Structure formats: C-alpha cells, structure tokens
Amino acid sequence: MTSSPDPVGTTHPRLAARRGGTAGTWWSKAVLRSVEEAAYSATDLRRGRALARAGSVGSITVSEGRAVAAVSEGQDAFTVEVTVPVLDDTDAAAFTELVAAEAGRIAALMAGQLPLALVESMEEAGVELLPYGGELGSACTCDAWLDPCPHALAVLTQLGWLIQVDPFVLTHLRGLSRDRVLRDLHRIGRPSGSAAPLAAESLGDSTASGDPDRLDDLLVAEDAAARAAQLLELESPFDPI
C-alpha cells in the first residue's frame, strides 16, 4: 500500500545553460549513472546531455513518483514525463526511522547533503533510495520509439543536477517530499533521543527537549536556513557531470 499522490508537486526554476564539467556529489553521480544505464545508446545520451547543458529544459515540476518538464529542440517543443517508483508505506516509515535514528542526519539533509551511512543503513533494511536504470520510466510527445528518448534523458540529467544541490528532490520522487519528511519526523519525535536532539544540535541549542512545539520551531528554522543556503548556491551554478 502506498500513500496518496501529491497532486501539486514542487516546481524547480529553469536551469541556465552551462558548460560541461566533472564536479558532482557521490549521490548525484549515482543518479546520473542510472541515467546512463537507462539510455539505449551513447548517441542518445550525448544528445540528451547536450540539450540539458544548453538550457533546453524548462522548469521541472517534481511530485511523488514523477517529474514533468518541457524540452525545446530547434523550433519544436516537447512535453516529457519521467517516472520513478515511490516507496511503499513500510519503506517510507523505515526511511523516517533511519533519519531519526542518528543525530545529524536531518541536519545534513537540510544542508543539502545525503549521508552515505544513511543510504547504507537503508540498503541494509532493504530500502532502495537511489534508483537504478531499469526503474526510470518516461513518456514524451516526440515521435521517438525509444524509452527514454533524448528529451527524457535531458530531463533526467537535470534532475540529477537538482538532486546534487537538494537530496529532497530525490526523496520527493520516491514519495517523500520535504514537508512530509519533516512532518513524519515531528510525529515520531520523542524525548529519548531521535528527532528533537538532532534538530537542536544543528542549531547549537543544547537546552531543547522533546517538546513537540519546540521541535516544530527548530525544524521550521532549519528549513528556512537551508532554503536560503540553496538560493545562494544557485546564484553560483555548479559544474555538473
């Protein structure tokens, strides 16, 4: 059983054209490797990457299990939808518990980091957060018979770039939006250790307790700080793979 889909989603602004590069985080490289696995040929992959780097992908709207964007090529424009399987309720609950299980994990996510130890713990629990090539589906209004077509590969490539800056883009695709993660952490918060202390630690407040209102204030403050940091980072574009 899975939770009801997010009907609105989050729209990420169009990324400007940029030159190629080799920089990247370990998790964004893992996502982009899955894009490589999904491609039918190196030619399609190069064409998709060229479209992504040229800024031909419009704003991307991410919701639970899917992302939608327009891709322009020459005088034509196409609508692309890419899909990723969402975590079922059991795996989603396991994700929340594992984030809350160790101090600093939610702070890392809010700061745009995806702890390797968290992903390894999820894999040990049988929960796959990072997708593999066979999980990436797509549909495009172009006449290509391949799935994914170069336009879909362009969108998937830019999703990898977005995930590099904000791992919550990845969790959202898996069915766990930022707001849902924070809400679920708030729900399981308890005085004995998990969510409240790790939120307090990241803000340098050693006096916080497991009080729900206090935890909520801390998470909201972290969220605001993280969003501000991401806006600053977007002002200086990184070099994607």
Any domain includes 16: no
Residue 19 has a pLDDT of 76
Host domain of residue 163: 27-189
Which burial class, exposed, middle or buried, applies to 14 when counting CB atoms under 10 A from its CB (0-12, 13-18, 19+)?
A: middle
Any domain includes 65: yes
pLDDT digits (tens, 9 = 90+) for 162-174: 999 999 999 999 9
Residue 197 has a pLDDT of 41
CB 195 within 8 Å of CB 211? no
Which burial class, exposed, middle or buried, applies to 86 when counting CB atoms under 10 A from its CB (0-12, 13-18, 19+)?
A: buried
The pTM of this model reads 0.78
Written as six digits, the tokens of 83 are 């899909």
Distance of CA 121 to the CA centre of its chain: 18
pLDDT digits (tens, 9 = 90+) for 19-76: 765 568 999 999 999 999 999 999 999 999 999 999 999 999 999 999 999 999 999 9
Is the Cα dihedral 226, 188, 208, 99 positive or negative? Answer: negative
Any domain includes 15: no
Any domain includes 106: yes
| 3-class DSSP state of 45 | helix
Residue 23 has a pLDDT of 65
pLDDT digits (tens, 9 = 90+) for 177-220: 999 999 999 888 654 343 334 443 443 333 333 444 445 545 55
The total number of structural domains in the chain stands at: 1
Q: Is 50 exceeded by the pLDDT of residue 140? A: yes
Any domain includes 31: yes
Q: Is 90 exceeded by the pLDDT of residue 92? A: yes
Any domain includes 180: yes
Any domain includes 217: no
Residue 67 and residue 60: Cα distance in Å, rounded? 6
Residue 198 has a pLDDT of 40
Q: Find the radius of gyration of the CA atoms of the chain.
A: 18
Residue 212 has a pLDDT of 47
- Residue in the block written with tokens 């899917």: 66
Any domain includes 126: yes
- Residue in the block written with tokens 């992908």: 57
Q: Is 60 exceeded by the pLDDT of residue 225? A: no
